[in-house]
């Protein structure tokens, strides 16, 4: 009798887990479907809008250029989140200077023949 109850509880737990997994998958599908719908609506609105004037296109291009310059500066400059190329080059240069100093000390410590 006890073994049967354990088997029933086991099946119930397994069924509950499967139901929860399916619910999560369904939730992700609904969320993805909603996002795709939002994208489709945005694309449709973009197509329906009248073309920009030459002045507005130039203004938009300049705004995009400003964003690109900021992104490039973030990558290159040492103030960026990743440290930028300048900081990486500076660190490598310091490593080379330490290596040079170690080699010089090693060569100075060697007896001359």
- Model confidence at 97, in pLDDT bands (50, 70, 90)? very high
Residue 84 reports pLDDT greater than 80: no
Query: What b-and-e string marks burial along 18-53, b requiring 16 or more CB atoms within 10 Å of the CB?
Result: eeeeeeeeeeeeeeeeeeeeeeeeeeeeeeeeeeee
Cα Rg of the chain (Å, integer): 32
The rounded distance, in Å, linking the Cα atoms of 113 and 109 is 12
Number of domains the chain is built from: 2
- Residues 44, 71: one domain? no
Boundary (domain end) residue, out of 49, 70, 87: 49
The rounded distance, in Å, linking the Cα atoms of 43 and 49 is 10
- What is the arithmetic mean of pLDDT over 70-91? 72
- Residues 33, 62: one domain? no
User: Are the beta carbons of 84 and 76 closer than 8 angstroms?
Assistant: yes
Q: Which domain holds residue 20?
A: 1-49
Residue 81 reports pLDDT greater than 80: no
- What is the arithmetic mean of pLDDT over 53-76? 84
Q: State pTM to two decimals.
A: 0.37
At 90 the three-state DSSP class reads helix
Residue 103 reports pLDDT greater than 80: yes
**pLDDT in the model for residue 113:** 63
Q: What is the pLDDT of residues 33-48, one digit of tens each?
A: 999 999 999 998 888 8
Residue 14 reports pLDDT greater than 60: yes
Token output for 95: 């490593």
């Amino acid at each position: 009798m006890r073994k049967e109850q354990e088997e029933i509880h086991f099946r119930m737990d397994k069924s509950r887990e499967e139901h929860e997994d399916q619910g999560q998958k369904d939730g992700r599908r609904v969320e993805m479907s909603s996002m795709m719908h939002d994208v489709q609506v945005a694309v449709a609105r973009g197509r329906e809008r009248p073309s920009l004037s030459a002045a507005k296109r130039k203004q938009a291009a300049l705004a995009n250029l400003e964003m690109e310059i900021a992104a490039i500066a973030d990558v290159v400059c040492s103030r960026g989140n990743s440290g930028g190329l300048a900081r990486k080059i500076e660190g490598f240069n310091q490593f080379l200077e330490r290596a040079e100093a170690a080699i010089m000390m090693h060569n100075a410590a060697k007896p001359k023949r």
